[in-house]
Structure 1
Amino acid sequence: MGSLPRKVSHSANNPNLHYLATGGGPNTAMYKRGSSGSAGDCVSLRSISSEDLSYVDVEQHCCAKASNPAYKRGRRLQLMQMLILPFIPIMALIVQTSIILQGTLMYRNEVMDIETQVTIATDLGKVVTKLQLERSEVAFFIYTNGSNSRSNFSHRFEVTNEALTNMTTWPPVALPQENGKTVYLNKSEFLDRREEFRDRQKISSDESSISEVLDWYTAVNAAMLEHLTNQIKETDNSGVWRLLIAFKNLLRSIESMGISSVYGVKYFSYGILDNENYTSYVRYDTLGKDLLNGTLNYVPSMKDTYKALMKSMPHYGRIKNNSDIILRNRRRAPNKDEAIDYFDSITTYTEELRKLQTELRRKIREYVNETLSDASNKEAIGIAILVVVLALSPVIIILVRNAVATIQMYAANLAVKARELKKEKRKSDSLLFQMLPPSVATQLKQTRQVPAEYYAAVTVYFSDIVGFTEIAAESSPLEVVTFLNSIYKLFDERIECYDVYKVETIGDSYMVASGLPVKNGDKHVSEIATMALDLLAASTLFRIPRRQCERLQIRCGVHTGPVVAGIVGSKMPRYCLFGDTVNTASRMESTGDALRIHISLEMKKALDAVGGFRTEYRGLVDVKGKGMMETYWLTCKDGGIARNMAIDQPEFYEDAEPVFMRRLRDECYI
């Protein structure tokens, strides 16, 4: 074969992950990483990318499976997370609505309790009012010396008895005893004591003691009013507390004015009040007015009502005039008519105040009813919100679950497509790595440029078929292609056992190099020498087309030295070798003999340094472009060639597929 140019392109083998024979028996081969000949971990025969490695590593970790929706465990975990996510605000809304609803119910119960308290206080106030009227009638009867023109005791007592009977609850009434102690009476005991008091005092007699009468009625009313004010709680949880305080103050104001009116009747009946009675009158009259002013201050809207009542009341000015007269307490002639007139005016005034009390009670009821209505509305809204939330919660959970299931299905399909894409990528990478070295191809894909690199020591191998021109002339093109394909498939399968890199096949020329693109120290010499002997032995198994009696003969040439390697071109980039070493190796092949391995002096010295190979001196050879060169024949290797596996030789027309291609193809479909 003629000389080759100094620039040679190639087809790529895999120098990063190769199958290395160690020189032992057929079972001593092991998988190693091709970097300076150091031992590495067991890896796949073919070259794999970093994405493939990361993909394998990720799939082998349980934690990755737990977080990957492509796996069943990951889908369950993701579904749980997605269900918890809407469940948290739903539960928060349910809890918040429940708390608000509970607060509304408590507020409503408080307002209803206030309504109950005011109702009880109203019933108790009716009894107090009847007792006040009874006390006024008794006092008027006594101070007018038995005049009954304004009194009807039987009717008055019956009205009081009816009010006492209608009471649903009975307050703890504490009455003072003659020995200074206090006794608490229940309802029946109180009724018995009241009848006994009426009979014992003989109210219809002139000998009745007014002090004892007033003390008895005052004690009873004071006990009931104390219980009444205790029943009405002054609470800040609602705006009704001002109305409640005003209601209690008005009740006490009427009571104080009723007591002071007794002393007023006595003044007009007797003409003068002693110091004790005068002091009592001033105290109760002032207390009644202050409590009335407090009521009007707590409820300013009642002032207009009070003024309207006073304007409509006849002889209101006479009440103030009589009050001023009593406060001066000047002796005057007793006058029953003035006493009757004062009694009538005070009774009318207290009746007007009781109208004010009724109006205030109406305001309290309206406020309570409005508050209860508002509380009921809030309660209904709260219950409606709670029902809606509880009803929608399963719907939301189901929708979220369906959405998550859809997403997971999409993720699973996407994972399947991703795996298929990775398989296709591996196929394309396998094809690319047959055209370019994996390290160079990876760098070219990442940076789109690979700078040329200088290699100080590389061994280059060339071989071609002896008489290929005549063989091609005698055979059809299809037979030639099939013949070359069978040979090179066998060669490709054999070189996988060595740390070598297939550079190129041009026609019948087969080019292999060792020591690039991954440097391996001095191993490139022994690797190429062993491979050359192996390929030479294997080539003799083939028969020549249409010459079945003849065996295939190849011519081999080897040289070692420096080269420069780099990518040339952008459309179809090729990894090319440059340097005199390539040209010299080609000349060694072209000047060699059939079934012989022709090596240079540099190669012979390198083999001697490595040891284990036998060579034969050929002599001086005239090499085109180089002149006379001292060359040698590589004859054999001490101990024979290590075979890692038994390889079935293909028949001539069999489409034999190399082992590395079958492995690449099978792994792509795993």
Structure 2
Amino acid sequence: MSRQNGSVIAESSSVRSLSSDDVSTTKSIKKKSCWTRATDPTHRRGRRIQLMQMLILPFIPILALIVQTANTLHDILIYRQEVSDIETQVTIATDLGKVVTRLQLERSEVAFFIYTNGSRLRFNLTQRYVTTDETLKNMTTWPLVSIPRDETKTEIYDVVNREAFQARLDEFRQRISPEESKISEVMSWYTSVNGAMLDILTNQIKETDNSGVWRYLIAFKNLLRSIESMGISSVYGINYFGRGMLVGDSYVNYVRHEALGRDLLNASLTYVPSLKILYDDLTKTMPEYGHIKARRDEILRNINRKPSIEDAIAYFDSMSMYVGELRKLQRELRHMIRNYVNSNLQDASNKQAAGIAIVALVLVISPIIIILVRNAVATIQMYAANLAQKARELKREKRKSDTLLFQMLPPSVAQQLKQTQQVPAEYYENVTVYFSDIVGFTEIAAENTPLEVVTFLNSIYKLFDARIECYDVYKVETIGDSYMVASGLPVKNGDKHVSEIATMALDLLAASSVFQVPKRPGERLQIRSGAHTGPVVAGIVGSKMPRYCLFGDTVNTASRMESTGEALRIHISLEMKKALDVVGGFKIEHRGLVDVKGKGLMDTYWLECKDGGIARAAELDLPTFFEDVRPVFMRRLREEDAL
């Protein structure tokens, strides 16, 4: 397009830049960046990235659930291991408790045997030894026990296995005799061994265990120590009734072990309140319980009395019965511990099974969810791709409709009409209007068929439309053989409108000579042109088929210039001649006064040529241009007839 038309293009472009279609078109022309392609759902890479994102999105909570369930399962496994360790502790504590109990009974029998010089036996020592040995043999594990080498406790060593302890116990038993053994030494040895085992039992119990079984284990340990202390105190009690008085350390040891036994018993009942109920029932149903309290008070007073073997035996029997009842409590407590541990193990197993089931369920459901999400995303992407394709097609159709609209209306006016639905009329102080028609068109139309006339006019206007593209002008309309063009509107171009129309008129006149009149061999087309410069009012008329129309005397005068003109000449008014004189560069011939209908006499002129020729009149490739100038609907009709 020519330099003179640049302002129109700039104005049109500036107005059309407001269109969303043009904005999208401009964006599509630019090369998309990698990030834009990666985030574009219509692009293959963008679809893959979005698919990955949509698959990752549901996988995050699934992964979080798996991790949470795995952590819970891990905690359950740790808890189960702790409960298993507690079960091991309970087993060891039970075995140690049984051994301590058997050694306590054996100690009592041995002490009674020595005290009576072997003359009185409450129980067969050999049978008692066998019972103790069977208990040792049934132990599942053997702890490291520190025991004295002999009765004097001057040397202590560690027994690392059951066989070594059994050998040391057998060796000690063989040295027991009523004549040579002292009851204090025998008591000391058994007490040291039981104390060592009770220390191991204490170390086996974890008071910080979270399961709660430690309370039962502490109560079990305290009850064992209580029975141990009561057994020791009962030996000193036998000594009191058998000899009539406790002297020195014997009395102190009795008081200490008696008080310690009661305190440990009360602690056990405090740790396990259910034992207190059983203990109260025991004291109510035990007939000797009142005698035991009376004899205990008597020993504590330590009043010198007459020695009595019968009283010693009665006291020993009553204490053995009382300790036996306490051992029933110990067995009941052992059952409580076993039930508690089994309950915890069952609970841990249930939680573990539930955790495994949840993990398995999540692992099974996760692929299904991912597949469903993938299918949903694929459907959405397919829909998005189709939508994008439809959007592109819509944009293409919109561009076509906009192109057609911009050909029917000025681009700036069309854009304003699209945006505001109304375009107010505008007054233009100075524009130039051009009219042309075909000389003898009525005869030409009579000599040719309608289709041939349409083809003829189409070829002419196609050429004219191609020519006026080089100028800053606007084609207003064509009515039959009349061709109307204006310059200086709708975008004002200063004083250029007159020179643009003059140059265009000369160009169209030269171009029309290439046409041959149909069915008139050798006769060339002749057009008659006229132009006038003056003010007009322009605006949109109508709503169904809106047209951009010009109103005012300038339009009428320009039409009269054309109708009163001559063939192959450009008839202009005095106003246009003066405007061309200001611009310069055009050759004008005076015609004289012409009687114009409705105007009277007017001084008019002929526009002859332009100095230097028409620089913007490009040469046309006529064979190519006239290859097929028929309207599209005519080509379709011919193609259908051929079929």
> Contact 2:17 / 2:23 at 8 angstroms: preserved in 1?
no
Determine the C-alpha separation between the residues in 2 that align with 1:385 and 1:52. Answer: 56
Alignment pair present for 1:572 and 2:545: yes
Structure 1 residue aligned with 2:90: 118
- Partner of 1:138, secondary structure, is helix
Residue 344 of structure 1 and its aligned partner are, at CA, apart by 1.0
Q: 5 Å matches for 1:252-267?
A: 252-267=225-240
Post-superposition CA distance 1:213-270 (Å, at most 9, x none): 2221111111100101111222342132322221221111111111111111111111
Cα distance 1:346–1:450, how it changes in 2: closer, same or farther (>3 A)?
A: same
- Partner of 2:622, secondary structure, is coil
Aligned amino acid, residue 203 of structure 2: N
Structure 2 residue aligned with 1:643: 617
> Contact 1:270 / 1:333 at 8 angstroms: preserved in 2?
yes
Q: CA RMSD in A?
A: 2.7
Greater share of helix: 2
Post-superposition CA distance 1:170-196 (Å, at most 9, x none): 223224576866433333444444344
> Contact 1:650 / 1:656 at 8 angstroms: preserved in 2?
no
Match of 1:155 among 118, 127, 151: 127
Structure 2 residue aligned with 1:99: 71
Structure 2 residue aligned with 1:70: 42
Determine the C-alpha separation between the residues in 1 that align with 2:526 and 2:18. Answer: 36
Cα distance 1:521–1:182, how it changes in 2: closer, same or farther (>3 A)?
A: farther
Determine the C-alpha separation between the residues in 2 that align with 1:47 and 1:252. Answer: 99
Determine the C-alpha separation between the residues in 1 that align with 2:454 and 2:153. Answer: 143
Could you tell me the TM-score, scaled by structure 1's length? 0.87
Structure 2 residue aligned with 1:15: none
- Partner of 1:618, secondary structure, is strand
Structure 1 residue aligned with 2:368: 395
Q: 5 Å matches for 1:247-396?
A: 247-396=220-369
- Partner of 2:521, secondary structure, is strand
Cα distance 1:465–1:646, how it changes in 2: closer, same or farther (>3 A)?
A: closer
Determine the C-alpha separation between the residues in 2 that align with 1:331 and 1:609. Answer: 159
Aligned amino acid, residue 194 of structure 1: L
Q: How many residues align?
A: 626
Match of 1:172 among 144, 166, 170: 144
Residue 509 of structure 1 and its aligned partner are, at CA, apart by 1.1
Residue 350 of structure 1 and its aligned partner are, at CA, apart by 1.2
Contiguous gaps of at least 5 residues in structure 2: 633-643
Alignment pair present for 1:600 and 2:610: no
Structure 2 residue aligned with 1:14: none
Residue 301 of structure 1 and its aligned partner are, at CA, apart by 1.6
Structure 1 residue aligned with 2:51: 79
Determine the C-alpha separation between the residues in 2 that align with 1:345 and 1:586. Answer: 148
Could you tell me the TM-score, scaled by structure 2's length? 0.91
Q: 5 Å matches for 1:458-497?
A: 458-497=431-470
Structure 1 residue aligned with 2:8: 34
Residue 651 of structure 1 and its aligned partner are, at CA, apart by 9.3
Residue 564 of structure 1 and its aligned partner are, at CA, apart by 2.2
> Contact 1:37 / 1:523 at 8 angstroms: preserved in 2?
no
Determine the C-alpha separation between the residues in 1 that align with 2:433 and 2:574. Answer: 14
Residue 160 of structure 1 and its aligned partner are, at CA, apart by 2.0
Post-superposition CA distance 1:375-413 (Å, at most 9, x none): 111111111111111122222212211221122122222
Structure 2 residue aligned with 1:666: none
- Partner of 1:639, secondary structure, is coil
Structure 2 residue aligned with 1:26: none
Alignment pair present for 1:538 and 2:511: yes
Structure 2 residue aligned with 1:3: none
Match of 2:481 among 508, 511, 525: 508
Post-superposition CA distance 1:352-392 (Å, at most 9, x none): 11111111111111111111111111111111111111122
Determine the C-alpha separation between the residues in 1 that align with 2:569 and 2:338. Answer: 125
Structure 1 residue aligned with 2:641: none
Determine the C-alpha separation between the residues in 1 that align with 2:120 and 2:625. Answer: 153
Structure 2 residue aligned with 1:424: 397
Aligned amino acid, residue 498 of structure 1: Y
Determine the C-alpha separation between the residues in 2 that align with 1:64 and 1:564. Answer: 49
Residue 575 of structure 1 and its aligned partner are, at CA, apart by 1.3
Structure 2 residue aligned with 1:131: 103
Cα distance 1:179–1:319, how it changes in 2: closer, same or farther (>3 A)?
A: closer
Match of 1:449 among 422, 446, 461: 422
Post-superposition CA distance 1:615-662 (Å, at most 9, x none): 22323334344444333222112222223452326899953479xxxx
Residue 313 of structure 1 and its aligned partner are, at CA, apart by 3.0
Q: What percentage of residue pairs aligned between the two structures are identical?
A: 70
Cα distance 1:95–1:58, how it changes in 2: closer, same or farther (>3 A)?
A: farther
Residue 58 of structure 1 and its aligned partner are, at CA, apart by 4.0
Q: Structure 1 segments of 4 or more deviating over 4 A?
A: 35-38, 46-49, 176-182, 649-654
Alignment pair present for 1:194 and 2:169: yes
Determine the C-alpha separation between the residues in 2 that align with 1:271 and 1:644. Answer: 152
Structure 1 residue aligned with 2:604: 631
> Contact 2:21 / 2:398 at 8 angstroms: preserved in 1?
no
Bigger relative contact order (CA 8 A; separation at least 6): 1
Aligned amino acid, residue 37 of structure 2: K
Cα distance 1:244–1:653, how it changes in 2: closer, same or farther (>3 A)?
A: closer
Alignment pair present for 1:89 and 2:70: no
> Contact 1:486 / 1:650 at 8 angstroms: preserved in 2?
no
Worse-matched range after superposition: 507-516 or 311-320: 311-320
Cα distance 1:128–1:100, how it changes in 2: closer, same or farther (>3 A)?
A: same
Structure 2 residue aligned with 1:583: 556
Worse-matched range after superposition: 398-407 or 308-317: 308-317
Worse-matched range after superposition: 50-59 or 498-507: 50-59
> Contact 2:113 / 2:178 at 8 angstroms: preserved in 1?
no
Determine the C-alpha separation between the residues in 1 that align with 2:547 and 2:595. Answer: 32
Cα distance 1:336–1:644, how it changes in 2: closer, same or farther (>3 A)?
A: farther
Determine the C-alpha separation between the residues in 2 that align with 1:382 and 1:108. Answer: 13
> Contact 1:542 / 1:652 at 8 angstroms: preserved in 2?
no
